[in-house]
Amino acid sequence: MLEQLNGIEDRYLELEQLLSNPSVVKDRELYPKYIREHSDLGKIVTKLRDYRHTLSEIENSKELLADTDPEIKELARREIDTLSDHVVLLEKELKSLLIPKDPNDEKNVLLEIRAGTGGEEASLFAADLFRMYSRHADVLGWKIELLSESISDTGGFKEIIVLIKGKGAYSRLKYESGTHRVQRVPVTEAQGRIHTSAVTVAVLPEAEEVEVHIDPNDLKIDVYRSAGPGGQSVNTTDSAVRITHLPTGLVVTCQDEKSQHKNKAKALKVLRARLFDLETRLQQAEISEKRKNQVGSGDRSERIRTYNFPQGRMTDHRIGLTLYRLESILQGDISEIIDELTTHYQAQMLKNADAEKPH
């Protein structure tokens, strides 16, 4: 580990030299790239230097153990114990910092919420989940841009797709992908029976044009008249757009804007993210064949969470976390859940990294 850390410090020092070079400062592509890398490595180097300093302090305190004064000896022992605890903590933090960073962590995300089993009740819960994520985004100062929505007859969402813009949005939301199950008495239920419905959530990193090349010849683009709930016409022009990506069969529709051009741009944004996600999943599948335990795959077929209204309970099945404050969770207070999931998956990655080291 120390060899790896020393290599990181060497690169950090090299970047400091590069960032003081006038030709690099003028380079609009290289300069921001080096600034980001320098900032990322700086967190590790700061911990490494603290680690080295603490080890040095322990050695200095050990010299005092030879002192003839019993009080100085006792103080030295206490100091060594305190510093040794700090070393253990720093080693743990350094190991966490050395976990390969997900290159998508800092990206904006496309959040797709779809009603599953449960009909109208599922669409109403899809709206509840959208409000939950929206309020969480508001607290963090993130911006939300609507890309596509399909409203049910009861005012819920059959499907809603939004772009969430904010630093580290993907790193915070990536473990939300999966099936979210709700248990409650529907408004339409006269007998007061509890129904179980399901909503699927997909969290995709926003893909830049340079990351996903889309050949226009691979696209089939249809335009048609927008339709709202119950089939009524939203406007009188063919502004709605349906894009089919022929090689993969992926289909994206967008009809929320009155402009065909804007709908097409939004649909392409969604298609680009889905193609990027598809490519990433294929790469993960190859890795998982070599590594039996795939961490944080975000499998959308997996039932990840249950929201039980009669008991006011939320359970995340992946980590066995149960909280009895459902109302505040649905108001967007989900930081505790996200932090617990992040800690769990980081621990799994550390475990995998240790298992893969040659012994």
CATH 3.30.70.1660 domain span(s) along the chain:
109-348
pLDDT tens for residues 89-134?
Answer: 998 888 777 777 777 888 899 999 999 988 889 999 999 999 999 9
- Per-residue pLDDT for 241 more than 50? yes
Q: What is the 3-state secondary structure (H, E, C) of 60-96?
A: HHHHHCCCCCHHHHHHHHHHHHHHHHHHHHHHHHHHH
Q: If pLDDT is split at 50, 70 and 90, which confidence band does 28 have?
A: confident
- Per-residue pLDDT for 250 more than 50? yes
For residues 112 and 150, give the distance between their C-alpha atoms in angstroms, rounded to a whole number: 12
For residues 72 and 130, give the distance between their C-alpha atoms in angstroms, rounded to a whole number: 62
- The answer to whether the pTM exceeds 0.75 is no
CATH number of 109-348: 3.30.70.1660
> Going by CATH, does the domain composed of 2-97 fall within 1.10.1610?
no
